[in-house]
């Protein structure tokens, strides 16, 4: 006897998406990509697996620990399964499209696989969709992406969106300015990331006060910027603040209703970002909807992008409306069936003349059945 329970068992962090969810997610992905394309972002489609060194080059080094590896039996070289599609789009921009005019706008959607899930995202395989803006390093480029993601998520029906801005390089830069060694610099980074005041108290006196004040700067964008403006930041850190302040001004000028917050010390998950970055949240939804930020391609070219996590997004979008399903009795002419599909019906064709049509229509979740020339409600 077949053990169906055993056959259905999947590894931890993996699952089957079933109807109607799978279709709803697929349509949401295509709606997102359509939004991206309407802003001039052209779609690319990298492979699911490629040589390990390609996935680890440039920004890829930051996600190496998430990647599955295997030996290619043809080339005898190590290959990796993508854990983040941004790495692949960055490779395409730096190689195949290196001669393309800048700024270069690219978008993508696809599945990624990670070695382990996290507490907030236990899934090891999930869909991503996002954009990359290559060769634009000013505030306007940062602002374009934040406005684009806000518009795209709003078009899908996401309510209560907030954008949490951060500068992952700020704390490391402060640590460097104060001459902290590698161990103390990592302690400082982790302390700010975890909002751990006790850990900050273990740091040298000359930097402790500044980092404690930085910890208290998180909050609504206007209040956070005011607090940061009053801090005695090193010169290079002040430049980062100036860029952040200019971005908030830009966003307020183009979308005054956008909810902006700032957490200047956050760095967890921004492994390869080199400048202003952001996380996306929605009211009542567990976890981040996505992340974005500035980074450098192999060769040093500046880029900024964002990635939407579809597993989180699907908890924020309205449930799909049930489609109109029309049962077509056995023998219904194909031309007649086609006309109903043109009118927006989903048609379910009866395949057995001996079956009682109304009974099968109800079994197959059809609300209507074809009688004569038109649909009749069951």
Domain boundaries, the chain: 12-159+267-321, 169-262, 326-377
Q: For 282-311, write each residue's pLDDT tens digit.
A: 999 988 999 999 999 988 899 999 999 999
The band of 1, judged by pLDDT with boundaries at 50, 70 and 90, is low
CATH 3.30.930.10 describes domain 12-159+267-321: yes
The band of 27, judged by pLDDT with boundaries at 50, 70 and 90, is very high
Q: Is the dihedral of CA 204, 206, 207, 209 positive or negative?
A: positive
> How large is the average pLDDT for residues 371-376?
93
What φ, ψ does residue 58 adopt, rounded to 5°?
55, -130
Q: For 87-118, write each residue's pLDDT tens digit.
A: 999 999 999 999 999 999 999 999 999 999 88
Burial (CB < 10 A; 0-12, 13-18, 19+), residue 179, is exposed
CA 128 to chain centre: 5
Q: How far apart are CA 72 and CA 64, in angstroms?
A: 18
pLDDT at 272: 79
Q: Measuring CA to CA, which residue among 284, 364, 345 is closest to residue 318?
A: 284
Q: Measuring CA to CA, which residue among 136, 158, 106, 165 is closest to residue 292?
A: 165
CB 63 within 8 A of CB 115: no
According to DSSP H, which parts of 216-333 are helical?
221-229, 235-254, 310-313
CB 106 within 8 A of CB 81: no
Q: For 135-154, write each residue's pLDDT tens digit.
A: 998 999 999 999 999 999 99
């Amino acid at each position: 006897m077949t053990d169906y329970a055993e056959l259905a068992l999947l590894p931890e962090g993996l699952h089957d998406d079933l109807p109607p969810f799978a279709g709803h997610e697929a349509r949401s992905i295509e709606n997102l990509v359509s939004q991206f394309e309407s802003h001039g972002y052209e779609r690319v489609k990298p492979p699911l697996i490629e040589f390990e060194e390609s996935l680890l080059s440039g920004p890829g080094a930051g996600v190496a620990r998430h990647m599955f590896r295997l030996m290619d039996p043809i080339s005898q070289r190590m290959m990796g399964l993508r854990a983040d599609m941004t790495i692949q789009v960055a490779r395409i921009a730096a190689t195949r499209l290196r001669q393309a005019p800048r700024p270069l706008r690219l978008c993508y959607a696809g599945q990624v696989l990670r070695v382990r899930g996290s507490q907030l995202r236990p899934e090891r395989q999930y869909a991503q969709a996002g954009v990359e803006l290559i060769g634009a390093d000013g505030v306007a480029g940062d602002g374009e992406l934040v406005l684009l993601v806000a518009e795209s998520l709003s078009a899908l029906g996401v309510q209560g969106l907030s954008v949490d801005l951060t500068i992952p390089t700020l704390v490391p830069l402060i640590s460097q300015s104060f001459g902290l060694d590698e161990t103390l610099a990592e302690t400082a980074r982790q302390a700010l990331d975890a909002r751990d005041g006790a850990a900050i108290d273990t740091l040298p006196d000359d930097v402790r006060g500044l980092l404690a004040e930085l910890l208290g700067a998180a909050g609504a964008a206007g209040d956070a910027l005011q607090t940061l403006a009053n801090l005695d930041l090193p010169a290079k850190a002040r430049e980062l603040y100036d860029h952040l302040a200019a971005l908030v001004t830009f966003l307020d000028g183009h979308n005054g209703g956008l909810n902006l917050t700032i957490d200047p010390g956050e760095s967890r998950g921004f492994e390869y970002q080199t400048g202003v970055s952001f996380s996306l949240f929605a009211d009542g939804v567990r976890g981040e909807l996505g992340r974005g930020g500035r980074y450098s391609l192999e060769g040093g070219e500046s880029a900024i992008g964002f990635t939407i996590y579809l597993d989180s997004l699907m908890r924020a979008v309205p449930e799909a409306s049930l489609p109109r399903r029309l049962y077509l009795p056995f023998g219904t002419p194909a031309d007649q069936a086609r006309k109903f599909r043109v009118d927006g019906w989903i048609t379910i064709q009866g395949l057995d003349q001996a079956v009682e049509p109304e009974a099968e229509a109800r079994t197959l979740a059809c609300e209507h059945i074809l009688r004569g020339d038109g649909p009749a409600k069951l």
